[in-house]
Structure 1
Amino acid sequence: MRSQDLSAALLELQQQHRFRQRHIVETPQSCAMIIEGKRYIAFASNDYLGLANHPQLIEAAREAMLRWGVGGGASHLVAGHFAIHQEAEEALAAFCGREAALLFSSGYAANQAVITSLVGRGDAVFADKLNHASLNDACLLSRATFRRFRHNDLQQLEQLLASTPARTRLIAVDAVYSMDGDEAPLKKLQDLADKYDAWLYIDDAHGFGVLGDGRGSAVEQGLHGERLIYMATLGKAAGVAGAFVAASSQLIAWLVNTARSYIFTTAQPPALAAAVLASLRLMADEPWRRHRLQQSVSRLREGLSEVNFPLMASRTPIQPIIIGRNEQALLLAAQLKERGFWVPAIRPPTVPEGTARLRLTLSAAHTQDQLEALLDCMVQAMQP
């Protein structure tokens, strides 16, 4: 795009109610935040277990910085793979019941690593229509034939698998869909992957730490096998940053040797690996966080259903309310903001046209009083 066209393009975004801007947070991540000088109760974070500002994670990172310093300094394959990185990878693999794991700087980098390393020209990758943008981008970058199937439509997926001449096939799905909060039928997907000799790649960014006793969607549904590849991010329920891939030792070795987004980037700060270890201990030792989270999900759904809010089928902390038009979603979000609640309005292209929504996300750190206050406020905001 030419520079002289930028003003017109930005104006068009504003007219479509799609213009986005950042808001400055002045406190640590929590349910009670100061954003641009004002206090809010936030229902906007993916910090599902309330660990992002936990004292044990902070102390683990502080002690690790004193020992290991701040920066990684080099890529993992040059001089940046610290003992604490190795310890975290081994702990993550054990936690998820896989042979090995590999740390990444982000889920975006992990998705690119796996998909572009396993498939290329002449291969085929099959992806759910509602997959996260990072999965779609990785599929496109792989240069494999990219086929998308209707959301959770196993019949269409099987038709695509049966008709492809590709030798290498990969099915890529989100385990929990970030904008709808519903889930992929993982067990049936693995059955199809086995039937058609395909890899099954699961992005469990929003299930890790929450489902399967905290060990994620694949563990909860009893998935296993050499062709199963599991990815989860560490900046959501785990409260830290980055991501990891857990799979067979052979697959992890292949990624170390071929994944460009792993090979050609500086290693994460070692202090983050120490924080991950502390987070895993809390997830294992404090199941009350998941129990409280599920209680809040149930209460929110109960309260909103009583006043006929259009809820979607989600048992997860992601509870979207479909509004429809962009301007209506922005208006309701603004009304909640005036009453002291920070709830984001999500608009296209993040979600399909005509499905602008409020995306409520719950945390184990939310109190019962905060939840009841939100419910009261939403009922008032919807009054004519």
Structure 2
Amino acid sequence: MVNVGVIGSTGYAGAQLVALLSHHPHVSLTYLASHSYVGRSFSSVYPSMLGSCDLVMEEEDLEEASKRCDVLFLALPHALASKKVNAELLKRCIVIDLGADYRLSDVASYNHWYGCEHASPSLIAQAVYGLPELHRNAIVSANLIANPGCYTTCSILTLAPLVAEGLVDTSTLIIDSASGVTGAGRVEKTDSLFCECNESFKAYGVANHRHTPEIEQELSLLAGRPLMVQFTPHLVPMNRGILSTCYASLASGIGEPEIGQAYRKWYADEPFVRLMGSSLPETRFVKNTNVCAIGWKVDQRTRRVIAIGAIDNLVKGAAGQAVQNMNIRCAFAETAGLASSVVNPL
């Protein structure tokens, strides 16, 4: 058993994390922090958790939390974790950051895309990018794990085999992703109001979304050279889910057999990647699971591959992946406490 704490426990990602951890066979939830609900039980904020997690929430104190916890999850907006994490903290406990502060290996890129100065750049070199399907071996010994973004998880996993195996022209990569409203967080925003987003579909963050450099960083590592992608996110009037439709021109001589072979080579043994081939994924196929479902089509007319990935943005795109990282780091079964199949198939 490990003692675990969550900072930012009442946001959408934080609450999903608490729900997963409360049923984890190797976890004892010992510390929950939420500035807005100090002194209240978690189940008083989320009544569906009554009896599952009635822990009283405390004011945030990372020093105290690190003394009581073996693993500390940070579910905070960007620019906060880098002000709170330090070397002494990392000596006492494992930190898994669900925010953006340690995802980018280049501090100048972080400062540019996030519009602020990174508060602890000396720790970036210690951080491991927590996408298990690509960095499992490094996660095993890391005390600072940067949980990937939701759009990035879906996009990178969908494109990784194509890029790594040299099957596509990387100068032609285009990603159109659509996310449910929980991706915007639990903070009150006009754009997230029911009347603003219901019965509508829109693009946002066009040409400047902050997940772009994260996608480029990981795909560049796979390609062995710097590359750029055209990434456009969209808001869908549903609670949760991400669908990423990725386009690329095929390399010379590449067709359907090589594409299928590459996906099977990379993901045949991955517990949370479901290959659907030409049967394309939908967000409802992975709802409330830690699965990334991937399908693809080769368009012989245009000589392009269209690869489509689907995840639950709050599970594989956030809390579930954080638990997966904890499982790897703590030598638990990687699938412990995580669902790989939907409860309702409809």
Same fold (TM over 0.5): no
- Max radius of gyration: which structure? 1
Higher strand share: 2
TM-score, length basis structure 2: 0.26
More relative contact order in 1 or in 2 (CA 8 Å, sep 6+)? 1
What's the TM-score, normalizing by structure 1? 0.24
